[in-house]
Amino acid sequence: MDLKRRIVLAAALAAAALPLAAQEKFIIVASTTSTEQSGLFGYLLPIFEKETGIKVRVVALGTGQALDLGRRGDADVVFVHDPAAERKFLDEGAGVNYKQVMYNDFVIIGPKSDPARIAGGKDVLAALKKIESAKAPFVSRADKSGTHAAELRYWKAAGVDIDSQKGPWYKETGSGMGPALNTASSMNAYILADRGTWLAFNNRGDLAILVEGDQKLFNQYGIMLVNPAKHPHVKKDLGNAFINWVVSPAGQKAISDYKVGGEQLFFPNYKAG
């Protein structure tokens, strides 16, 4: 086949690969791995799409990365779980229409053999102190995610200066929740995880939930529209439609309806005003 024909064929194939979504209504939501991997989006989004005809394309990263995506204007909506970072995002003027949507909780996962003796405890700070003194293996996501930010807050509140006190027992993987759980499973290590991802996680090895229920372990999720004043191309109407639906009675009910193995993972807590 001569050169010219090859080029035309290539161009035709390239054109065919272009997304037909030019005609489709869609928004890009930058969110965290916990919301996707727990299966919440798989349940929630089809309901929203059926009601409004708007397709939601989720790019699942960590909280830090998701917010950076929003800052660059590469997403229309951000949906993350780190109130401090969300506040900062808002204050920078990077986001508008901020709503607190739901919470789930963190748990401390660990090996059934429990070298640090924390099983059954109800105090996350005490548990972490014990892990540090025992120098028991602990996996940290270390990826600027909401979970990672929470983990660092807990160390600080427990009086542990993790930066100077960490040692070979503290494994920083720089990864999402799933891969970090994989690592913890293969090393029989402790790890802070969100309940949702844990329930959907299949490679548990010898791990189990050891500490849960502490009020401090509650993990708040917030949603925001990327500021259209900064990024005019942002799909403001479609994005707001999603935000408003998520905090609407229908949306909040859908969130509480989502269960894994009979257990509810996320608890809607939007309060107007």
Partner 1 sequence: METILHALRDASRLVAAFDPKLVEIVALSLEVSLTAVVLATALALPLGAAIGVSKFRGRQTVIVVLNASMGLPPVVVGLLVYLLLSRAGPLGEMGLLFTPTAMVIAQTVLILPIIAALTRQAVEDAWREYREQLRSLGAGGWSAALTLVWDIRFSLLTAVLAGLGRAAAEVGAVMIVGGNIDGVTRVMTTAIALETSKGDLALALGLGVILVTLVLVLNAAAYALKEAAQRRYG
Binding residues for partner 1, rule: CB under 8 A, are 2-3, 6-7, 9-10, 13-14, 16-19, 21, 28, 33, 37, 41-42, 57-60, 72-74, 175-179, 181-182, 185, 197, 200-204, 231, 233
E-assigned strand segments in the chain: 26-32, 55-61, 77-80, 95-111, 138-140, 170-172, 190-194, 207-211, 218-226, 259-260, 263-264, 267-268
Residue placing its CB nearer to partner 1 in the complex, 115 or 179: 179
User: Residue 272: enclosing H or E segment and its boundaries?
Assistant: none
Residue placing its CB nearer to partner 1 in the complex, 17 or 272: 17
Residue placing its CB nearer to partner 1 in the complex, 26 or 218: 26
Asked whether the CA dihedral 13, 18, 21, 26 is positive or negative, the reply is positive
Residue placing its CB nearer to partner 1 in the complex, 41 or 154: 41
Residue placing its CB nearer to partner 1 in the complex, 73 or 115: 73
To partner 1, the closest distance from the beta carbon of 233 in angstroms equals: 7
To partner 1, the closest distance from the beta carbon of 179 in angstroms equals: 5
End-to-end CA distance of the chain: 67
Residues 6+ apart with CB under 8 A from 197: 33, 34, 37, 38, 177, 178, 181
Count CA atoms closer than 13 A to 152's CA, side-chain side.
13
To partner 1, the closest distance from the beta carbon of 37 in angstroms equals: 5
Supply the Cα-derived Rg of the chain in whole angstroms. 21
Q: Give the number of other Cβ atoms within 10 Å of residue 164's Cβ.
A: 6
CA 14 to chain centre: 34
Residue placing its CB nearer to partner 1 in the complex, 147 or 185: 185
To partner 1, the closest distance from the beta carbon of 84 in angstroms equals: 24
To partner 1, the closest distance from the beta carbon of 192 in angstroms equals: 17
To partner 1, the closest distance from the beta carbon of 133 in angstroms equals: 30
